[in-house]
A and B are shown apart, each in its own frame.
Chain A
Amino acid sequence: MIIKMTKLQGILLMMSTIAPTAIVSVPSVVVQLSEQDAWVSIIIAMVAGGLFSLLIGSICRQNTQTTFLDWLRVRLGSKAGTAIGILLTYYYLISVVIEMREFVNFIGENVLSRTPVYFLLIITVAVVMYGVSQGIVNIARVNLIVLPLSLLVFIVTGILLLKNIHIENLLPLWEHPLRKVAQGSMTPTTWLLQVSILLLIAPFMSKPEEAGKVGMWGIVLTSIELGIIVVAAITIIGSRLISIMSYPTFYMIGIIQIGTFLERIDLLFISIWICMMYVKMSIVMFATFHCFIHTFRIRNEKPFLLCLGLFTILTTMYAWPKSVDLAYFSKTVLIPYAITFNVLIPLVIWLLLRFIKPNPMKAGK
């Protein structure tokens, strides 16, 4: 019995691909540029991401049979398919390495300051690789438990924070020129563009032709989540302070205190965030492994799973000798890099698909 992903699982999977890292990094970056108008930047990013998901959907609609790379090979030729496969493998590997490094850095700095980073990394990679070994449908199922749980925690903390809200922090409205607000929307758009992973995931859905809708819903819901966090951060902390904070989301939750028995519950929020990060890293690692296996047509997958895990640990450890290097990389290279792979490659694929007509001889094989 082959069970595929439902539409709901797909939407939640998209949310989990984008949200966990975005909710941590987006508020401070957006508020730095558009201050109290940051929510408008999020709306602009949502529109851009939505339009992009239509492009992804139109590609996914054409393949309802086999995995993305196998289909590309048949549709665009072996060389083009392999080249795209190599590029995607490279992109997702680097993405997962960045995420992993940021994740263990965060844990090392905020939760377990005296534990060696490599130990944290080994545990993280072990859990992620186990998730990958069980397949994307299984990851989607785990996400079906983790994401609603995180949303529940999100809502409860929101309610507990209500008394700290200062709505006047959002005023004056439209103080910043559109150019500045649009500039502020660049970072959230970059995160939302990660919806391009649908190209790989759509064949695992029971209705791959609905990938466009799944992407659209994923982007809208994630943007709403991001918007709420940004607005909450501005109204609770104030735009000036947010700009100088590394993790305003966690700080915001840290200020919750009820009587003397409930304080410092940010650790609970961090715990559920760790679960979300595990799901996210498993999705991206799955994309890496899937691209790798299908690009190089590997049949016996298990040994390579182990090798990829080891390779990820070493790259994560040694790609950036210091955390400062990673911060520099994130500030300078990450956005053009992500846009190149998330936008340009799907766009090229889309154009190639438009101009290269299907070969009935190959399709029949």
Chain B
Amino acid sequence: MDIFNNQESKGQSANGVNNNKTEGSQSNASGENQAQLISSDLQSNLDMLHTRLGNSPDIVIRRLGDPADGMNRNSQQFALVYVDGLVNGASVNELIAEISKQTERDMFKLQNGEKFYQFLKNHALAAGGVTETDQEDKVLLSIFNGNVVVLVDGCATSLLADMAGGNLRSVEEPSSQTVIRGPKDGFTESLRTNTSLIRRKIKSPDLRIDAKVIGTQTQTNIAVVYLKGVAKEEIVQEVHRRLDSIQIDSVLEGAYIEEFIQDAKITVFPTMINTERPDAASAGILEGQVVIIVDGSPFVLLMPVTFFKFFQSSEDYYQRYDISTFLRMIRYVSFLVSMLLPSLYIAITTFHQEMLPTTLLIGLAAQRDGVPFPALLEALLMEMTFEVLREAGVRMPRVIGPAISIVGALVLGQAAVQAGLVSGAMVIVVSFTAIANFVIPAINMAIAARLTRFLLMLLGATLGLFGIISGLMFLLIHMASLRSFGFPYMAPIAPLSYNSLKDIFIRVPWWKMNTRPEAATDNIARQENAGQSNPSDHPSNS
């Protein structure tokens, strides 16, 4: 029997603490397999663990109270089982010390296995999250989730004490999506830390965190976070339904899930946002979005989203609305530049030279005079060079970074122009395109622009402006047909929603932002004084 194929959800917490990790529903359970129960004999339970776990050195089995180890023969025998590195070592030592102290004091009271078990459950382990189970599979699963399993001789039930710890990255500033003004904390690889970061920001009893386990081998913990009463109930249910339908052996990052649950299977445009900023995730939750947190990844997924969400940055809401609006315009322009500039350059220089002012045309013609390649090949050459440099920049050791930058800038830029391989204008076009691509706040949308650029370059080179316009129309039809969890991707422009326009091309002042965007919520009232003007418009100010 597969050790992870269980779906029991008994495990009532000993001290009222509900440990979702071990009792949460497992979406991919394979049916009605009879659960293997643990024995009341400690030795046979330990033999079972040895058999099923093998001799991995990180699995620690500490048998205590054994007369063979010189202990009093009246001592109660029990064992602690955990994975070294997944639990907090200090807590385990404290637990052992506490048990030893208590058992020495009340030795005769605790000779009976059942009494000893109750003592452990109600006194020694009372502080942490404790659950019970009598199933072998649950015991094994909880060990890998950072629990310490306590097996008592004479008891056919085990205690699972949550002592998750070990070395985890602390909360640091996110490496992507940095801001000048705003919170500096970022999500980590720990799911519990991540949920706590959101809880710290939204102190509402309506904040709901639903637990799931996905991945038959990895048993990855997933949290679905939303604000009850604000998030649309049907979207929350749809997220659960799609997550439950995933059948995969492993989930190591949110991207595994993203590709499973997105609406359109074939598209270059992202239909979910990922962020490693707790403030961005919290803002999404407050607007009715559902957040999926995957244990082991600092990137969380937000849904549903519209196309225009990808051009909003956390900082838009921490800076004044005027500069935020200006920057947002810059981002839209940069997106268009990133997608269209090389193709427009190719189309105009190849097909529509009459569009250029005469002086510029002469200048360009002079530059292209010695270049042996057609404009498309020239552009592809430079684009590919840049893509190679970019990929190298991601992988190369930090110390040789500046050297590669010099090689890239001088050798491949200036020298290529001097050698007559490419024109100077093309270097400018490709460089500006590349820089514009980095302006887009969401990296997955920047990737979409990067990929469509090549398609448009080919169309521009073969059919000029007509080809580019045809390509853009194709993309527009495609984007208008996309959905993010049933919601139109191009909203609130197509279909038009006047109410949501205040945070699309412009960012209105906060005191005017009295409603939530309609994408993810029916509960749109955001401010109690919705519709009123600037609070500073008080008679005393005039």
Contact = CB atoms under 8 A, between A and B. Distances in A.
Interface of A: 1, 3, 6, 8-9, 107, 111-112, 115, 119-120, 123-124, 126-127, 130-131, 134-135, 138-139, 141-142, 144-146, 260-265, 267, 270-271, 274-275, 278, 282
B477 A142 contact: yes
B474 interface: yes
Interface in B436-476: 463-470, 472-474, 476
Interface stretch (B199-207, B311-319, B350-358, B510-518): B350-358
22 contacts: A8-B496, A119-B463, A123-B463, A123-B466, A126-B474, A127-B474, A131-B473, A134-B478, A135-B481, A138-B480, A138-B481, A142-B494, A145-B480, A260-B359, A264-B354, A267-B352, A267-B354, A274-B470, A275-B469, A275-B473, A278-B469, A282-B477
Contacts of A267: 352, 354-355, 465
B481 to A, nearest CB: 4
A64 to B, nearest CB: 20
Interface in B472-528: 472-474, 476-478, 480-481, 486, 488, 490, 493-496
Nearest to B497: A6
Contact of B486 (A1, A6, A131, A138): A1
Query: 8 shortest A-B CB distances, which residue pairs?
Result: A141-B494, A144-B494, A134-B481, A141-B480, A274-B469, A278-B473, A1-B486, A131-B477
B464 A111 contact: yes
Contacts of B357: 260-263
B255 to A, nearest CB: 26
Given A123-B470, A131-B477, A6 B464 contact: no
A142 B481 CA distance: 9
A6 B478 CA distance: 20
A158 to B, nearest CB: 20
Contact of A145 (B465, B486, B494): B494
Contacts of B472: 275
If over half of B's interface residues share one DSSP class (helix, strand or loop), that class is named, otherwise mixed; here it is helix
A3 B488 contact: yes
B339 to A, nearest CB: 15
B407 to A, nearest CB: 37
Given A141-B480, A267-B352, 9 more contacts: A6-B495, A6-B496, A120-B463, A124-B470, A127-B477, A145-B494, A146-B476, A263-B357, A275-B469
B474 A130 contact: yes
A171 B352 CA distance: 38
B496 A144 contact: yes
A152 B318 CA distance: 32
Contacts of B355: 263-265, 267
Given A127-B473, A130-B477, A134-B481, A144 B463 contact: no
Interface string B76-119: 00000000000000000000000000000000000000000000
B495 A3 contact: yes
Given A1-B486, A144-B494, A111 B466 contact: yes
A141 B488 contact: yes
A6 to B, nearest CB: 7
A215 B372 CA distance: 57
A217 B488 CA distance: 26
B494 A111 contact: no
A9 B497 CA distance: 12
Main DSSP-derived SS at the A contact region: helix
A111 B469 CA distance: 12
Interface centre among A120, A260, A262, A278 (most CB of B within 10 A): A278
Nearest to A5: B495
A102 to B, nearest CB: 15
Given A115-B463, A264-B354, A145 B476 contact: yes
A138 B495 contact: no
Contacts of A270: 465
Which among A139, A141, A261 has the highest number of chain B CB atoms within 10 Å? A141
Given A6-B495, A127-B474, A271 B358 contact: no
Contacts of B478: 130, 134
B477 A112 contact: no
A127 B470 contact: yes
Contacts of A135: 481
Interface in B357-374: 357-360
A144 B469 contact: no
Nearest to A107: B466
B473 A144 contact: no
A364 B274 CA distance: 51
Contacts of B360: 261
Nearest to A259: B357
A3 B487 CA distance: 10
Nearest to B358: A260
Contacts of A274: 466, 469-470, 473
A254 to B, nearest CB: 10
A135 B481 CA distance: 9
A72 B357 CA distance: 58
B495 A144 contact: yes
Contacts of B490: 141, 145
A70 to B, nearest CB: 24
A134 B477 contact: yes
Contacts of A260: 357-359
Contacts of A115: 463
Contacts of A278: 469-470, 473
A41 B473 CA distance: 34
A120 B470 CA distance: 10
Contacts of B476: 142, 145-146
Nearest to A132: B477
B266 to A, nearest CB: 13
From B472, B476, B477, B480, residue with most partner A Cβ within 10 Å? B477
A145 B493 contact: yes
Contacts of B488: 3, 141
Given A123-B470, A141-B490, A112 B480 contact: no
Given A127-B477, A141-B490, A120 B466 contact: yes
Contacts of A145: 476, 480, 490, 493-494
